[in-house]
Structure 1
């Protein structure tokens, strides 16, 4: 894989030019020194040849040979000759040795000359080489010194000029580094000084087209999910999504709820007599009333089941609460005044039935339909509850929930269980998700899916999350756990400034190496609903070194732009999408859409609630990053995990 260079273009060019100039100066200096030395040697050789010629001529003259010892020493001393010897095969006839002090005899110039006028005679001498005793002289070397100074000043000026000319390329390179670091949005438009300008403009255009393509892809993915799972007129879930959620609920353990069917009587006659616009307006009014009423109940599914029929799935609600909600629903619908031919006092009927783990989806819908028909037989706007042999009565109200939760908190907080998330590529553990459990008065273990609704209703979300986060930090600090941990935190708690300040202070006191092993999971629906408030919180968590995980993705149909907005690390699919995905093409389409939304980001998709090999095989083919569920490992107490 190609990597970005760590050295700037300007620094490269400056280093190259500087090296070339210094090398040129060095070559010229070496060449000049060699030339000076060669010129000195040639001058000395030429001068000594003259001295030898004079001695040769004097030796040829008998009178000159007699006076040789009188004038020759002065000549030799003036010529820097240290030693001279005149000899023949018969022996040495004259020898001279000067008094000059030579520190290093090895530097002396030695040579032997045969005498042409005196055959058989020779002269052997040793002389001091030229420039040996010379030192640097500013006057003598001024021209060379000035030349070198001019070259250096020119080099400095040239480097500064080169840096100014290449400043634009440095800006372009710096923007490229920031883009490679992931800061594309902050560097979408370059500086006017960037050079080459064509490359800068091309980069601006490519980033603009990329952003538009991402937005278009996000809109397309949202369009696919919307048309697959939502009713286009009311915006509520369609029959496909409702059946999928109901099937997932009855397949989970220790779950119960209620199915409510609302049917508009004589809707076909209204459509034929008043037209589609009037009929659609009535459907929208009814959908608005139902949507407003279910806001108080989390994890509730509202669906337009048929053209003139709505279905509501209430999860983990007692019989008393369901009856109260149905009565409120009936009163709210009574206030609507439908157009004729609908009768104002006999146009809406409601059927209610209860369901729990192990029930068949088809039977539940049949029971709700039978209850609705019984309400129709009453001849007025009314509702009817299907009579079952076993009513799933849970008499625990908000007061009892508050008492139980207070006892749990005072005893040290909830019990923690863990379940690993496994990576697809190398089967390593991505993290261990911490799951909260509590025990009731009889010691029966209650799962989070049953008590979290009550926690939110009584306003204990921040208190619960504080205890869970504290236990998670203790696990990471004081226990030899190598794998990262992931803790669920409710968006309702993060909306409280006091809880956020406490969380920030706790994380700031925690070593960075510990925080790098901690992930926070947020529910997708609540996160998108309060996205503006969650941005600074998410930025704080990521800045401190923690990872951000979005949980329950796909439980509600929302836009996925939050993935890039808050830089999510992992997206966990809702278990309802994973359950029997090998038999549900619509769920596979949803997972493909989610994978496409994460394609241009660092976010990885993890499937939650995998129960068997068939589901895992389909999910691997779709391309998820990892999986979590009983297929890999059951939920185990944290104390076993630590050991």
Structure 2
């Protein structure tokens, strides 16, 4: 199932501001319409008034001309005074024969064409005669005056004050809705903890109470989902009695490690003798007590070996997988393990001198899991034939990769850092379509004394052994940043950084200064990867540095997810961009329902976050098809893209020895 993000559009304008703007606009528009309508009405009333007055004056002139023949002198005696009082600027009495009388007002500024009103009125009692008048409209020369318009000004002032008071009242009434809206924005931003409890002023109150109840139920459901996912992963890959890995997880790790081209290690089987007699006489409770004691001893013994795996393979069998430890290197460990188990007090049913046996075999690159288990079983039977508790080794010749102590590792690593530094190979990570490249993962490689390229799985235990992990991480980060700044193409790059370095104050300060000196646009293209197991083990110490990295613009990636069964609480806390599955989960996933169940559980843990899941170690079409159907957003592996050699330009940089 593919998870899609639905874009939620949220208005940037608050509800109160929108209502205030709406009310203000309505009131202003009402005042404007009222003012315009009133002005037009006043003007029309004035025009109608003077038109009525002019009609009366024309009627007088018509009557005077009808009663007696009047000449120009007659009209000149009384008509100009009446016309001036009426703001008539010109008057002409005319007929077809000519002009009988004409009047033009002097010492008066002629009105503009838009202001003047001209009327041509025929005389009813004197056919053939007409009067043409030009007069000034009313209010043409009037200006604002406080006295006459004080009532209108006061009305507008009252409206404005009422509007201001109404807006303040509306803001007070809708303050609760603003608080509720802010709470909703926090929820949409993913800050659920801050929005869990609402403010007492929130309104409407039922909506606020409903949000609080839903958030509580959501958090409880998420916690239950997290517990359920952890339960699924635990029951799928862990033994419930001892807490060690079960047979499924052990087979996954052994198959992945044995098929690696550059791997070596040892497989050890530990078996309790006379198990059936123990169950018959001591019962399940007594047998479980012995198994728990053995599990505790074995778990403590393998702590000094990095990436070691302890599993309860069968009811009476334990299996131990040691990485990069083979042949005679394991003999001291087997002797110490024998002494530690002999200190346990087995039930009286078992022979105190012959109650457990161990068989060991070593393996190199490209061996089959089934054959290795057969070899370990044959060695264990040989140990049983000796008649006392102890161990036996299956004799075989394996291709030894190397055998170095701390002195040789330090010499090699110091020579590498004094030279060109670690080489960074690239491997692309593609999206589901297999064409869109999400980023490149930069893989650290070094050359040994013979010029052979060593993978990180081979040289990193040596780095940790001599305490040079901080130096190596500084060199890797520096080269990655330089690569991002000088590359012609714009790609995203992911670098691996050890969690131990992120907990060191010296490295954190150096990393902070290096990132602050880098443009934000470049940091947005950098992804920092950390291992899941180490992250969970040192989460509190590494969290401040991880948050600083994210705040500066880099993205976080958690890789090797599923190598060990741990809680996924870190997903919600640091919000990584991607979680990369361990290759042992992806290998032959189409044939392993338990691995598919684990992947579904991981996808469920990331469902409510922005974190996506990537599959690592994809080598076949069937694996790629299954992980895509389950819901991963992308993948990495030889099927999608092989490792590429270092960038040619990095050979020019030779300053790693000055760190």
Query: Which TM-score band (shorter chain)?
Result: over 0.9
For 1:508 and 1:329, the matched residues in 2 are separated by 50
Look up the match of 2:225. Answer: 217
How does the TM-score come out when normalised to structure 1? 0.96
Task: Report the alpha carbon displacement of residue 642 of structure 1 after superposing the two structures with TM.
Answer: 8.7
Q: Name the CA shift for 1:105/1:518 in 2 (closer, same or farther; >3 Å).
A: closer
Contact 1:270 1:340 in 2 (8 A): no
Tell me the secondary structure at the aligned position of residue 326 of structure 1.
helix
How does the TM-score come out when normalised to structure 2? 0.94
Task: Report the alpha carbon displacement of residue 394 of structure 1 after superposing the two structures with TM.
Answer: 4.1
Contact 1:479 1:642 in 2 (8 A): no
Q: Name the CA shift for 1:106/1:514 in 2 (closer, same or farther; >3 Å).
A: closer
Residue 421 of structure 1 pairs with residue 456 of structure 2? no
Tell me the secondary structure at the aligned position of residue 107 of structure 1.
coil
Look up the match of 1:40. Answer: 46
Look up the match of 2:369. Answer: 361
Residue 250 of structure 1 pairs with residue 258 of structure 2? yes
Look up the match of 2:243. Answer: 235
Q: Name the CA shift for 1:502/1:106 in 2 (closer, same or farther; >3 Å).
A: closer
Look up the match of 1:602. Answer: 610
Gaps in structure 1 of 5+ consecutive residues? none
Residue 201 of structure 1 pairs with residue 213 of structure 2? no
For 1:113 and 1:426, the matched residues in 2 are separated by 92
Tell me the secondary structure at the aligned position of residue 255 of structure 1.
coil
Residue 15 of structure 1 pairs with residue 21 of structure 2? yes
Aligned residue among 549, 570, 573 for 1:565: 573
Gaps in structure 2 of 5+ consecutive residues? 1-6, 652-659
Q: Deviations over 1:578-608 (max 9, x none)?
A: 1122222222222222222222211111111
Higher relative contact order (CA 8 A, sep 6+): 2
Tell me the secondary structure at the aligned position of residue 384 of structure 1.
strand
Look up the match of 1:31. Answer: 37
> Which range is displaced more, 44-53 or 474-483?
44-53
For 2:12 and 2:410, the matched residues in 1 are separated by 60
Q: How does 1:322-361 map to 2 (within 5 A)?
A: 322-361=330-369
Tell me the secondary structure at the aligned position of residue 568 of structure 1.
coil
Residue 77 of structure 1 pairs with residue 104 of structure 2? no
Task: Report the alpha carbon displacement of residue 148 of structure 1 after superposing the two structures with TM.
Answer: 0.6
Q: Name the CA shift for 1:106/1:582 in 2 (closer, same or farther; >3 Å).
A: closer
Contact 1:320 1:395 in 2 (8 A): no
Residue 50 of structure 1 pairs with residue 64 of structure 2? no
Aligned residue among 165, 170, 177 for 2:178: 170
Task: Report the alpha carbon displacement of residue 68 of structure 1 after superposing the two structures with TM.
Answer: 3.0
Aligned residue among 6, 9, 19 for 1:3: 9
Q: Deviations over 1:160-198 (max 9, x none)?
A: 111121111122222222222222232222222222222
Contact 1:354 1:392 in 2 (8 A): no
Contact 2:326 2:362 in 1 (8 A): no
Tell me the secondary structure at the aligned position of residue 192 of structure 1.
coil
For 1:449 and 1:233, the matched residues in 2 are separated by 31
Q: How does 1:64-213 map to 2 (within 5 A)?
A: 67-99=74-106, 100-213=108-221
Look up the match of 1:291. Answer: 299
Contact 2:364 2:398 in 1 (8 A): no
Task: Report the alpha carbon displacement of residue 392 of structure 1 after superposing the two structures with TM.
Answer: 4.1
Q: Deviations over 1:288-340 (max 9, x none)?
A: 11111211111111001111211100011243431122122112112111221
Look up the match of 2:655. Answer: none
For 1:235 and 1:105, the matched residues in 2 are separated by 103
Q: Deviations over 1:68-111 (max 9, x none)?
A: 32222222212211111223343322221111221424422222
Look up the match of 1:438. Answer: 446
Task: Report the alpha carbon displacement of residue 614 of structure 1 after superposing the two structures with TM.
Answer: 2.1
Task: Report the alpha carbon displacement of residue 447 of structure 1 after superposing the two structures with TM.
Answer: 1.1
For 2:442 and 2:37, the matched residues in 1 are separated by 77
Tell me the secondary structure at the aligned position of residue 95 of structure 1.
strand
Aligned residue among 563, 584, 593 for 1:576: 584
Q: CA RMSD of the aligned region, Å?
A: 2.0
Q: Deviations over 1:104-126 (max 9, x none)?
A: 24422222333344444332221
Residue 310 of structure 1 pairs with residue 342 of structure 2? no
Contact 1:538 1:566 in 2 (8 A): yes
Contact 2:406 2:462 in 1 (8 A): yes
Tell me the secondary structure at the aligned position of residue 432 of structure 1.
strand
Contact 2:364 2:399 in 1 (8 A): no
Look up the match of 2:656. Answer: none
Residue 624 of structure 1 pairs with residue 632 of structure 2? yes
> Which range is displaced more, 483-492 or 194-203?
194-203
Q: Deviations over 1:7-52 (max 9, x none)?
A: 2222221121111111111111111011111110121112222322
Q: Deviations over 1:343-376 (max 9, x none)?
A: 3332222221111222222221222122222222
Q: Name the CA shift for 1:378/1:293 in 2 (closer, same or farther; >3 Å).
A: same
Task: Report the alpha carbon displacement of residue 142 of structure 1 after superposing the two structures with TM.
Answer: 0.4
For 1:23 and 1:149, the matched residues in 2 are separated by 15
Q: Name the CA shift for 1:116/1:359 in 2 (closer, same or farther; >3 Å).
A: closer
